[in-house]
């Protein structure tokens, strides 16, 4: 006899639902903190014992819950955040499913204590708070009076005590604590206006004051949560287009990480993991990131709630954009432009000055102007190599160098006997005003260029900088000449699935503009007739398959551009100035001017830094001056 069909008990249903939202203590913490934030709190205190397995308590100072609504708060499908079906089209809160608290209560010993503000709760103004708990069988106990300030406290004990199979999947105390700290960090980064603290086994791990209107406080919180120096190494970003607004920080590519452990992306304040977002960011970094390295960022995307569906995943980790292509292109363009400007542009922009790059320079193109003799040290009589990069002559040592060095101002102005920052060096005759990257002092070990800027000492890796300049020029030249295609002597057949063949059909024009001509023969066969001339020696079949993979996953692909850029990068590397080439001061200064006009100059083609700066304040600390 088959088992009879029966209706499950509410308690068992809650335990099944818990499998969707409660994976470990960190999952519980995420749900509880989001409820606190939705309640308008200004402070959240988290206490955990044994990685949150034995106990996890979250207290806030939000609006609280009136006595009569406490039992409802622990009931399935009960929420204060939705009322009508139409509300699902514009969810503005962090939590709304109405399943988290009863699900958590079904696999733990949960106690909820709360006191609503007198405006919200007029049932009994003589009692300071009310408490309700859930028994082993799922029955509610309370409400009963309990002292409590305005706000709520959720106390979760003995997680998975009644589901031993689930408890076996928990990791060590240290591992579970790491997950708790990650959730805490994600929320703390998104809400600097909320004071937060975290205790574990009675020891304070984090204590973060509110920093709502204090930029210094926000910077201090970033450094506290992501490591000291994060703000100094990051590029601030803020861009808007139509209904999309992106702000936050991206770490300079030279400080990329070996793991993707500092990637925080928020959509309307909600931390998400999204393939479309990851792909757009990765593409923006593709030209400046070393292989195997990962970008680091804290980014906030804001858009009307109607344009994003947050009701995709039970744990609310994923979202679905209604205009996914628009979001992808906006993220890519915004990050691409910011990375193109680099750190030196950031410094001037922060001071209210224009960046060192030219205004309105198109993204992805080199911005140097070869017609300018002062800007291009390639325009010299020494000759050129096949890439159009300079073949440099011998260093001129003697009066020329000594005269120039003597013209530099090494004196620092003082007020009341103390140094007040570096004076800008005097520019060589024939130049206008001090430049962002200063003027050359000399060459060190045949590899590095030393320059004095207005605010410190610059060290430039000559080969790396010249490599980036050459690469950007090659890309610009390639772009200006359109894409030269070359017919294959023998067209190449590629067997694919019918769906992949249809994808190619829909993108033929776009691929053709990049020099790749692919025709569909039948339901599962393609033929490649033309390829970009620069890729004539590449593995075309593998390139086509990679293109199809991208098109199937993201609806578009940058494989062709990446392949072309890879060839151009190799050419630029071979054409760049080699180590131990002696440069004249004029050549070194021309290199600095070219750097100022080149996008993405902060990194070479392999993701390594091209220059670093030691400010006068840093130099003073090194030599203990003023102490």
Report whether pLDDT(524) > 50: yes
Q: Comparing C-alpha atoms, which of 54, 25, 55, 21 is closest to residue 177?
A: 25
C-alpha separations of 145 from 113, 114, 122, 150, 528 in Å: 9, 10, 15, 14, 77
Return all residues near 584 (Cβ < 8 A) that are at least 6 apart.
393, 395, 396, 400
Predicted local confidence at residue 14, as pLDDT: 64
For the stretch 442-460, pLDDT in tens is 999 889 999 999 889 999 9
CA distance 614 to 620: 10
As given in the structure block, the two tokens for residue 587 are 């050549």
For the stretch 297-337, pLDDT in tens is 999 999 988 888 776 665 567 778 888 889 999 999 999 99
* Higher per-residue confidence, 205 vs 391: 205
Instruction: Name 449's bridge partners.
Output: 443, 460
CA distance 158 to 44: 22
* Higher per-residue confidence, 1 vs 585: 585
As given in the structure block, the two tokens for residue 86 are 């139409």
Least confident of 9-23, 75-89, 266-280: 75-89
Task: Identify the three-state secondary structure at position 595.
Answer: helix
Architecture field, domain 229-350: 2-Layer Sandwich (3.30)
Fold match between domain 10-206 and domain 229-350: no
For the stretch 588-604, pLDDT in tens is 999 999 999 888 888 88
CATH no., domain 482-572: 3.30.1370.100
Predicted local confidence at residue 410, as pLDDT: 35
For the stretch 376-386, pLDDT in tens is 333 333 333 33
Phi/psi zone of residue 445: left (φ > 0), alpha (ψ -120 to 50 degrees), beta? Answer: left
Phi/psi zone of residue 201: left (φ > 0), alpha (ψ -120 to 50 degrees), beta? Answer: left
Phi/psi zone of residue 168: left (φ > 0), alpha (ψ -120 to 50 degrees), beta? Answer: alpha
Q: How confident is the model at residue 547 (pLDDT cuts 50, 70, 90)?
A: confident
* Higher per-residue confidence, 293 vs 433: 293
CA distance 214 to 220: 10
Main-chain dihedrals φ then ψ at residue 522, nearest 5 degrees:
-145, -160
pTM of the model: 0.70
Main-chain dihedrals φ then ψ at residue 188, nearest 5 degrees:
-65, -35
Q: What does the DSSP assignment read for 511-547?
A: HHHTT-EEEEEETTEEEEEEEEGGGTTS-HHHHHHHH
Report whether pLDDT(37) > 60: yes
Task: Identify the three-state secondary structure at position 561.
Answer: helix
As given in the structure block, the two tokens for residue 454 are 């207005």
Predicted local confidence at residue 357, as pLDDT: 30
173-190 vs 215-226: helix crossing angle, rounded to 10: 160
- Contact by Cβ (8 Å): 339, 235: yes
Mean pLDDT of the 98-123 span: 79
The domain spans of the chain are: 10-206, 229-350, 482-572
48-62, 67-81, 104-118, 490-504 — most confident range: 48-62
**How many H helices and E strands in the chain?**
18, 24
C-alpha separations of 282 from 230, 275, 295, 507 in Å: 20, 10, 8, 22
What is the Cα 342 distance to its own chain's centre?
A: 15
Least confident of 217-221, 409-413, 492-496: 409-413
Return all residues near 481 (Cβ < 8 A) that are at least 6 apart.
none
10-206 fold: Heat Shock Protein 90 (3.30.565)
């Amino acid at each position: 006899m088959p088992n009879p069909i029966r209706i499950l008990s509410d308690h068992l249903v809650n335990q099944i639902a818990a499998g969707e939202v409660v994976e470990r203590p960190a999952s519980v913490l995420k749900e509880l903190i989001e409820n606190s934030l939705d309640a308008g709190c200004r402070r959240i205190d988290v206490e955990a014992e044994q990685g949150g397995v034995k106990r996890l308590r979250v207290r806030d100072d939000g609006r609280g819950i009136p006595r009569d609504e406490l039992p409802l708060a622990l009931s399935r499908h009960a929420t204060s955040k939705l009322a009508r079906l139409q509300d699902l089209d514009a969810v503005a809160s962090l939590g709304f499913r109405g399943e988290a608290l009863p699900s958590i209560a079904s696999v733990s010993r949960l106690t909820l204590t709360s006191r609503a503000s007198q405006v919200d709760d007029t049932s009994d103004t003589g009692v300071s708070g009310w408490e309700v708990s859930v028994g082993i069988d799922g029955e509610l106990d309370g409400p009963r009076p309990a002292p409590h300030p305005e706000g709520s406290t959720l106390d979760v004990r003995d997680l998975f005590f009644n589901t031993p199979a689930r408890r076996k999947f928990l990791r060590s105390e240290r591992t579970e604590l790491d997950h708790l700290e990650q959730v805490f960090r994600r929320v703390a980064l998104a809400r600097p206006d909320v004071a937060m603290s975290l205790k574990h086994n009675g020891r304070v791990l984090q204590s973060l004051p509110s920093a709502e209107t204090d930029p210094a406080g926000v910077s201090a919180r970033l450094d506290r949560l992501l490591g000291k120096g994060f703000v100094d190494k990051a590029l601030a970003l803020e861009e808007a287009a139509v209904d999309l607004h992106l702000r936050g920080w991206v770490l300079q590519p030279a400080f990329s990480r070996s793991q993707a452990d500092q990637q925080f992306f928020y959509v309307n304040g909600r931390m998400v993991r999204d393939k479309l977002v990851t792909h757009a960011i990765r593409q923006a970094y593709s030209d400046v990131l070393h292989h195997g390295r990962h970008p680091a960022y804290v980014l906030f995307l804001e858009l009307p709630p109607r344009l994003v569906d947050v009701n995709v995943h039970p744990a609310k980790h994923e979202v679905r954009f209604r205009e996914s292509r628009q979001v992808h292109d906006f993220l890519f363009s915004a990050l691409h432009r910011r990375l193109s400007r680099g750190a030196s542009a950031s410094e001037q922009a922060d001071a209210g000055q224009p960046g060192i790059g030219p205004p309105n320079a198109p993204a992805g193109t080199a911005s140097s102007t070869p017609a300018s003799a002062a800007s291009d040290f390639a325009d010299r009589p020494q000759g050129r190599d096949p890439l159009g990069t300079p073949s440099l002559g011998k260093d001129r040592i003697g009066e020329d160098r000594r005269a120039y060095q003597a013209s530099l101002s090494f004196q620092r102005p003082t007020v009341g006997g103390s140094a007040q920052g570096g004076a800008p060096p005097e520019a060589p005759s024939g130049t206008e005003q001090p430049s962002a990257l200063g003027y050359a002092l000399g060459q060190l070990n045949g590899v590095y260029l030393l320059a004095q800027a207005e605010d410190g000492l610059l060290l430039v890796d000559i080969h790396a900088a010249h490599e980036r300049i050459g690469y950007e020029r090659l890309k610009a030249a390639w772009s200006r000449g359109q894409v030269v295609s070359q017919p294959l002597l023998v067209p190449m057949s590629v067997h694919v699935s019918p769906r992949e063949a249809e994808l190619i059909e829909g993108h033929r024009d776009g691929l053709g503009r990049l020099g790749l001509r692919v025709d569909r023969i039948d339901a599962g066969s393609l033929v490649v007739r033309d390829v970009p001339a620069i890729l004539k020696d590449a593995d075309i079949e593998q390139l086509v398959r990679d293109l199809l993979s991208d098109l199937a996953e993201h609806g578009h692909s940058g494989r062709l551009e990446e392949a072309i850029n890879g060839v151009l990068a190799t050419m630029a590397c071979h054409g760049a100035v080699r180590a131990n080439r002696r440069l004249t001061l004029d050549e070194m200064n021309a290199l600095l001017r070219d750097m100022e006009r080149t996008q993405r100059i902060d990194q070479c083609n392999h993701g390594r830094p091209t220059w670093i700066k030691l400010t006068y304040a840093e130099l003073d600390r090194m030599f203990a001056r003023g102490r």
